[in-house]
Structure 1
Amino acid sequence: MASGQGRVLELAVLGSLHETPLHGYELRKRLNALLGMFRAFSYGSLYPCLKSLLEQGLIMEERPAEAVVGGRSKIVYKLTADGKERLQDLLTQAGPSAWEDESFGVHFAFFRHTEAEVRLRILEGRRSRLEERLDSVRTALARTRERLDSYTLELQRHGLESVEREVRWLNELIATERRASQEPAEDTSSDE
């Protein structure tokens, strides 16, 4: 799973299996529900990923006796200890690949399992990437405005507003993360 898309799917599968063991159909439904707005997963991409994760020892198969359908037992996939380590490794990666459109949503979906400083780096990186995109779209729009028809201009405006809205959302998330990191840790020691 060396490719960027492969790592995104690997993270999505390992993160989902971290929640609970699932069979392939349940896993696909969960991935589509969790990440549907970002991408749709097909059996064509899911099963090669599962096979690779099995070969690497990151997940294992179980065939529970009660999960028989049409004379065939359903395979339930479960995270191994190595899989949990790999998931933690993937969740600590906060570089440019985590900020991109392809993978940001997947990383964000598993933020509850991600350390605060990594979450903050990913959010700030994503914001920076979108601000760069805003600058280039505004510059291009200013240069070509007079040559575009009203529908194309409206589409450009809609795209610009969408990115501006996401930047505002990221600003709120970053502020929340920073406030949370500045709150004093609760004293869990008992007064004796």
Structure 2
Amino acid sequence: MSRRAGILEFAILGLLRESPMHGYELRKRLNTSLGVFRAFSYGTLYPCLKTLVASGWLIEEPGSAPEDVVAASLTGRRAKIVYRLTAEGKEHFEELLSQTGPDAYEDEHFAARFAFFGQTSRDVRMRVLEGRRGRLEERLEKMGASLARTRERLDDYTLELQRHGMESVEREVRWLNELIESERAGRDLKGAVSGEPDSQDTTSGASGGLPRSREDDSRTGPSDDTAT
């Protein structure tokens, strides 16, 4: 399984843990609530759902909402399929939530993981946040070294783009420091930050998004390395 497919499966299981949904509703939630999936199509979503059903983690049920029943009777088509998480699927999702390997620190995976922090234990949240911070600090070091080597060969606009990329990473590191401090103090962040990644792109090439920054009241996504 590719890393991106694994993130999609994780997100689907997490959303269905909240409530059963049909495919269109799932896609809408993936696009609006989890911005990292805005580019996914039905051609990607439904094979993933079929895989999860075959694995025993989801079951398919005919939609029972009144509008679904009426639409089916008028068109002669069967009601929309609703996907429901099984007990095995819930157990599998909880196992995925507990994992804190290196993939959890990458841009897209971290945004998806953060979206479900409300369902994640505090010790796992801490490991993911600290791992993400360490990954970004490594990125900053590489970006700084690259900029020092190449700045004399860059025009002013390219140089500004490199600086912007570094500043984006630095802002996310400061934001992570605040989150880690709050976690260590045992404060509940549910009322302080939104757990939904933004779907807006940044010029640093970020995928997905992160909650609102307290420092500048703007939204930034997981930063990407723009250094050459």
CA–CA distance in structure 2, aligned partners of residues 142 and 35 of structure 1: 36
Point out where structure 1 has 5 or more consecutive residues left out of the alignment. 182-192
Q: Does the 8 Å contact 2:133/2:173 carry over to 1?
A: yes
Which whole-Å CA distance do the structure 1 matches of 2:161 and 2:76 have between them?
53
2:205 maps to what in 1? none
Distance 1:173 1:106 in 2: 16
Residue 52 of structure 1 and its aligned partner are, at CA, apart by 0.1
Could you tell me how far 1:7 is from its partner in structure 2? 1.5
TM norm structure 2: 0.76
- Larger mean CA deviation between 13-22 and 2-11 belongs to 2-11
Q: Cα distance 1:137–1:123, how it changes in 2: closer, same or farther (>3 A)?
A: same
Listed one character per residue, the Cα deviations across residues 86-132 of structure 1 (whole Å, up to 9, x for unaligned) are 11011001110100112000000001111110100000000000000
State the partner residue of 1:93. 99
Q: How far is the alpha carbon of 1:39 from its aligned partner?
A: 3.5
The corresponding residue for 1:118 is 124
Provide the C-alpha distance between the structure 2 equivalents of 1:150 and 1:90, rounded to a whole number of angstroms.
45
Greater percentage in helix: 1
Paired AA for residue 11 in structure 2: A
Cα distance in 2 for residues equivalent to 1:71 and 1:151? 60
Deviations 1:35-67 (A, max 9, x none): 11x342221211111000000110111103431
* Structure 2 unaligned residues grouped into runs of 5+: 188-228
Residue 134 (structure 2) aligns with: 128
Asked whether the 8 Å contact 2:30–2:37 carries over to 1, the reply is no
The secondary structure found in structure 1 opposite 2:99 is: coil
Where 2:84 maps in the other structure, the secondary structure is strand
Distance in structure 2 (CA, Å) of the matches to 1:124 and 1:118: 10
Distance 1:172 1:43 in 2: 38
2:82 is matched with 76
Q: Please list, as runs of the form range in 1=range in 2, the aligned pairs for 1:44-83 lying within 5 A after superposition.
A: 44-65=43-64, 66=66, 67-68=68-69, 69=71, 70-72=75-77, 73-83=79-89
For the pair shown, the structure with the greater C-alpha radius of gyration is: 1
What TM-score, normalized to structure 1? 0.90
Cα RMSD (Å): 1.2
| 1:151 alignment partner in structure 2 | 157
**More relative contact order in 1 or in 2 (CA 8 Å, sep 6+)?**
2
